[in-house]
Amino acid sequence: MNRWRRAVQVGMVSIALVTGAVAHADPAPYVPAPGVESTYFEPGPAAVNERLGFGCCDTTGAKFDLWYPADLGTERHPIVLWGNGSDAIPSQYAHLLRHLASWGFVVIGTENQQTGSGVDIRKSLDYLLAQDEDPASVFFGKLDREAVGAVGHSQGATGVLNALRDSGGAIKTAVPLEIAAQRFCSNAAKCTDTRSLTTGSVFLVNGSADGIISPSRQLLPWQLEGLQSNQAYYEAVPANLTKAWGTLNGPDHNDVQGQPDCAAASSPCRVGVYGYLGYPTAWLMAQLRGDAAARDAFRPGGDFYKSSPNWSNQVGSVTG
């Protein structure tokens, strides 16, 4: 059992003892903020195809799962690479991945359950780009090779940052969800340090109830104890890169697996996937599709930074 999984179990016990919370409480309705969050909280206009085990293989022999617009049309579509949390597979995040595909993204995730190094997240991009060049593929000539993002959960959040760092500029943005504090990274190949990023943009999202694995803040300065919080990961991203961070009020470590509520998610989950839909989709639309309204939401004074019952800790340095 790896340290990410042990930490989730420790977090679950702590919640039960301290708050008396149940594993799958009925969620309160999530009401997105008017404007950009509300727009991208709703499913996009595209019907979606889901293809599990679509192709093979990453470096471990794991297959790739895909979600993509059923009608690819004549345009080229931006790409989103997915990174699983520890011991998870992409279909456990199907609601979120289907949501992204409905907005025009071609989403690919390896079934590899240990994605922290980022190697097989990048391998999924290699596979998809080969499909773009294959006349026999449904994706032939349909992919925007210059518009690639990566989204990941927990260990996979570490993985997408590593993939961004090592992609040579091929990956333009990363959205780490519930990134694990460095203390849970026992394998040096799976650790990440946002100080090492040289290109791209980053949008960090964590849940307020995920204080064990992905805390918002830490007691000691990160320069002394390492990157043990979302604030630390955010601050360590070089100042010349576009970056943002926000905390969803309520969710725990595995709410992102909601379908959309917690019934099918791993514990601990408190609310479901709702809050992970709007602004993360808007970020990808801004960074990969040039959506002006979405980009404005993350500029100083934009919608993302306004007082909200759903969000706290909203900070960002977004230009362009």
**What are the pLDDT digits (tens) for 143-185?**
999 999 999 999 999 999 999 999 999 999 999 999 999 999 8
pLDDT confidence bin for 292, thresholds 50/70/90? very high
Tell me which of 184-188, 217-221, 252-256 is least confident.
Answer: 184-188
Q: Does the pLDDT at position 20 exceed 90?
A: no
Read off the DSSP letter of residue 42: S
Query: Which parts of the chain fold into alpha helices (H)?
Result: 3-18, 36-41, 94-102, 119-132, 155-166, 222-225, 230-236, 278-289, 292-298
**Does position 124 have pLDDT exceeding 60, yes or no?**
yes
Q: Which residues contact 288 (CB under 8 A, 6 or more apart)?
A: 78, 80, 105, 144, 147, 148, 149, 172, 173
Helix (H, G, I), strand (E, B) or coil at 188: helix
pLDDT band at 12 (very low <50, low <70, confident <90, very high): very low
Tell me phi and psi for residue 64, to 5 degrees. -110, 140
Look at residue 26 and tell me whether its pLDDT is greater than 70: no
Biggest CA–CA distance in the chain, Å, is 58
pLDDT at 108 over 70: yes
Residue keyed to tokens 């394998």: 187
For residue 247, what are the β-bridge partners?
A: 206, 312
CA distance 268 to 285: 29
pLDDT band at 14 (very low <50, low <70, confident <90, very high): very low
Cα separation, 191 vs 281, in Å, equals 26
Percent above pLDDT 90 for the chain: 85
